[in-house]
Amino acid sequence: MGFLEWLLPGAATAESPDIAAGVAEFTQTVDARLTALPGLDRALAPAVGSALAFCRETLAAIPGPLDACLGRWRQSPALEALFASGEEVRDVLSHQEAAQSFLTEHPAEPELFALFWARLEEKKGFVLRQDAQGVPYESAAVSLHFSRHRLLLPRCSARELAHDLFWGLFRQLAREVARALQETRDAQTARHEEIAWLRANLRARQPRGALRDAAQIKMEERLAALSAQTSPVTLEDTLKEGIRLLSAPEKLLAVAPLEFRVNRANHLVGAGEEGRVTRFCHFRVRTPEPREGVLLQIRCPTKELLSREFLQKDIERLFG
């Protein structure tokens, strides 16, 4: 599963954030066996509440929905930084499989609401400038570069998009908790394996008389240290650690608002230079694999999107 493909509608279907729905989503994602523990809802409620509040704040920080259409795309500094023309906006969105699937499933919908993701890099280079006498010279510059565009979570309304994105964010938090718990279990397994190896080697190196060599002493010390660190992990332990992790959602999902002042060429400029303030919301996740990028919410008239048939004919025309 690729980056952000966790953004799918989940089991939670409440119109507003709900603690009970959050508890159910968390246990389903982390470990369904947790539901057997008495007092689960009461124990998880504070941590789930903190995570839901974090998701609410994060959702509000994602810009949009921005008008990604031919006539109004320049009204958004973020879209103007991402694209060179209205035609490029249309072409990039039209070539997204998620957009084509939406057109097939919702042929009568006038608008598509979705998330737009891209990887953002700041690249250093040089630009040609002129001094006060009109003499050209090279000057160092930093530009914004975007790649790996993806359209995600296409929906029929802004409200539907916000609802599903909210629970997608919460599910990502739960997946990050599950990842951390799995890492703990893996470390426990590795310790057990090392303990078994040390015991087997110590049995094979039984000293003659009372003498022990330095290697055996080191193995015995290592065995004692590992044994002190190793104990059975119960469901109660899993719940306790899960609550601790979920209570600090900002450590599970790195979200940062970004603000740049850029000119038409996407070069970063100072306050006294011509340019527009451009804002993004940057995400960094570790599950299912480390990825990072910026997210926007967009809206696009479906009539402006190119159909799958048109795109196929265009490919045939270009490549025979």
pLDDT digits (tens, 9 = 90+) for 127-162: 777 777 777 877 788 888 899 999 999 999 999 999
Are the C-beta atoms of residues 227 and 210 closer than 8 Å to each other?
Answer: no
Measured CA to CA in angstroms, residue 124 lies from 127, 142, 145, 259 at distances of 10, 5, 10, 18
Within-domain flag for 247: yes
Within-domain flag for 214: no
Rounded Cα distance, 76 and 60, in Å: 17
Q: 31-40 contacts: CB < 8 A, separation 24 or more?
A: 31/178, 31/181, 31/235, 31/238, 31/242, 33/235, 34/235, 34/238, 34/239, 34/242, 36/235, 37/235, 37/236, 37/239, 40/239
Residue with tokens 């599903």: 164
Within-domain flag for 73: yes
Within-domain flag for 90: yes
Residue with tokens 């799918």: 8
Q: Taking 70 as the threshold, does the pLDDT of residue 315 lie above it?
A: no
What average pLDDT does range 10-31 have in this prediction? 74
Q: What per-residue confidence (pLDDT) applies to 127?
A: 73
Q: Taking 70 as the threshold, does the pLDDT of residue 318 lie above it?
A: no
For the chain, the domain total comes to 1
Within-domain flag for 301: yes
Give the closest residue to 293 by CA, choosing from 170, 194, 190, 148.
148
Within-domain flag for 209: no
Q: Taking 50 as the threshold, does the pLDDT of residue 3 lie above it?
A: no
Measured CA to CA in angstroms, residue 232 lies from 37, 65, 190 at distances of 17, 49, 13
Range of the domain at 72: 19-119+147-177+242-254+296-319
Q: Please count the CA atoms within 13 angstroms of the CA of 37 that sit on its side-chain side.
A: 19
Within-domain flag for 225: no
Q: What per-residue confidence (pLDDT) applies to 319?
A: 62
pTM, two decimal places? 0.81
Within-domain flag for 194: no
